[in-house]
């Protein structure tokens, strides 16, 4: 029995998230369909994280235990030949039998893209939030730094989140600009339901109301979702990196 770890990227526009659901097309189901075409067996796969409907991934990992003997590099080629154009397998490596793509993960990094121009960009349709009016990136970056640390982020968890423990550690958080593209970037040991999108919505609201950056801490300490901003649309969100300690599985 082999334990194979796959690194993939996908455009989530056509999918109702990663996790398999009834009566909805998901990334996991599509991957299982592709694997079954290649090895003629429907294997169980274990994803590193849940992603919501319409959310994308630059780097996503899943592992699969299988009896198949196809070499890793040939598995990549074969799987890419049967998967749709919006999902790409980047690599496949054999890992230890006890490796688990979710439980072995020590931190994750998400990015959120905002097209900041009065004129829409057709090439970023479904790939970035379109925001008219100049965003003050320097100010938003200062506010973003207030998220860094270990806190109870209950105020940044959407209704429906099932986590009992809402404490998370944010290692880094920033907002930067590249021309008209504004990038929110955050790395942490874990994230609550819709947490990143609520963080983005809160920063935009603080910008619009021209509030002091100290408001971020006040929202955190309130532990009340009503005090945070709106949940930003899913189309601009990407799972960017998954970290497994000192191991590099790219």
Would you write out the chain's pLDDT as a tens digit for each of its 250 residues?
A: 999 999 999 999 999 999 888 888 999 999 999 999 999 999 999 999 988 999 999 999 999 999 999 999 999 999 999 999 999 999 999 999 999 999 999 999 999 999 999 999 999 999 999 999 999 999 999 999 999 999 999 999 998 766 789 999 999 999 999 999 999 999 999 999 999 999 999 999 999 999 999 999 999 999 999 999 999 999 999 999 999 976 666 6
C-alpha distances out from residue 181 to 120, 141, 174, 176, 187, Å: 12, 14, 14, 9, 20
Return the pLDDT at 245.
79
Exposure class string for 192-226: b at 16+ Cβ within 10 A, else e = bbbbbbbbbbbbbebbeeeeebebbeebbeeeebe
Instruction: Give the separation between CA 247 and CA 173, rounded to whole angstroms.
Output: 23
Within this chain, do residues 112 and 84 fall inside the same structural domain, yes or no? no
Q: Is 90 exposed, middle or buried (0-12, 13-18, 19+ CB in 10 A)?
A: middle
Within this chain, do residues 195 and 222 fall inside the same structural domain, yes or no? yes
Within this chain, do residues 61 and 145 fall inside the same structural domain, yes or no? no
Q: What CA dihedral angle connects 109, 115, 121 and 122, to 10 degrees?
A: 30
Last residue of a domain, one of 104, 130, 150: 104
Within this chain, do residues 132 and 36 fall inside the same structural domain, yes or no? no
Return the pLDDT at 249.
64
Return the pLDDT at 201.
97
Last residue of a domain, one of 104, 126, 144: 104
Within this chain, do residues 141 and 237 fall inside the same structural domain, yes or no? yes
Instruction: Give the separation between CA 240 and CA 34, rounded to whole angstroms.
Output: 23
Which two tokens mark 181?
Answer: 């593209």
Within this chain, do residues 121 and 7 fall inside the same structural domain, yes or no? no
Return the pLDDT at 244.
94
Q: Write out the DSSP string of 8-77.
A: EEE-GGGSS-SS-BTTB--HHHHHHHHHHHHHSS---EEES----TT-EEEEEEEEEEE-----HHHHHH
Within this chain, do residues 41 and 132 fall inside the same structural domain, yes or no? no
Number of structural domains found in the chain: 2
Active-site amino acid positions: 52
Residues sharing a CB contact under 8 Å with residue 246, sequence separation 6 or more, in sequence order: none
Return the pLDDT at 159.
82
Q: What domain range includes position 86?
A: 2-104
Last residue of a domain, one of 104, 130, 146: 104
Instruction: Give the separation between CA 234 and CA 127, rounded to whole angstroms.
Output: 9
Within this chain, do residues 119 and 152 fall inside the same structural domain, yes or no? yes
Within this chain, do residues 123 and 203 fall inside the same structural domain, yes or no? yes
CATH code where residue 65 lies: 3.30.70.580
């Amino acid at each position: 029995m082999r334990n194979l770890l796959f690194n993939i990227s996908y455009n989530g526009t056509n999918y109702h998230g990663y996790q398999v659901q009834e009566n909805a097309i998901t990334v996991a189901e599509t991957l299982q369909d592709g694997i079954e075409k290649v090895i003629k067996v429907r294997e169980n796969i274990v994803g590193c994280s849940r992603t919501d409907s319409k959310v994308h991934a630059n780097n996503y990992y899943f592992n699969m235990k299988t009896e198949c003997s196809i070499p890793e590099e040939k598995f990549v080629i074969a799987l890419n030949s049967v998967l749709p154009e919006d999902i790409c397998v980047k690599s496949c490596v054999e890992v230890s039998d006890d490796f688990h793509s979710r439980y072995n993960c020590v931190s994750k990094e998400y990015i959120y893209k905002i097209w900041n121009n009065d004129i829409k960009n057709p090439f970023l349709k479904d790939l970035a939030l379109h925001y008219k009016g100049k965003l003050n990136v320097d100010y938003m970056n200062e506010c973003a730094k207030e998220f860094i640390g270990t806190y109870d982020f209950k105020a940044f968890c959407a209704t429906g989140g099932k986590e009992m423990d809402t404490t998370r550690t944010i290692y880094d958080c920033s907002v930067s600009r590249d021309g008209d593209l504004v990038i929110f970037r955050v790395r942490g040991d874990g994230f609550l339901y819709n947490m990143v999108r609520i963080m983005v919505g809160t920063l935009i609201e603080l910008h619009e109301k021209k509030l002091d950056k100290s408001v971020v801490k006040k929202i955190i300490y309130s532990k009340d979702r009503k005090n945070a901003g709106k949940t930003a649309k899913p189309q601009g969100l990407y799972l960017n990196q998954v970290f497994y300690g000192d191991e590099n599985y790219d």
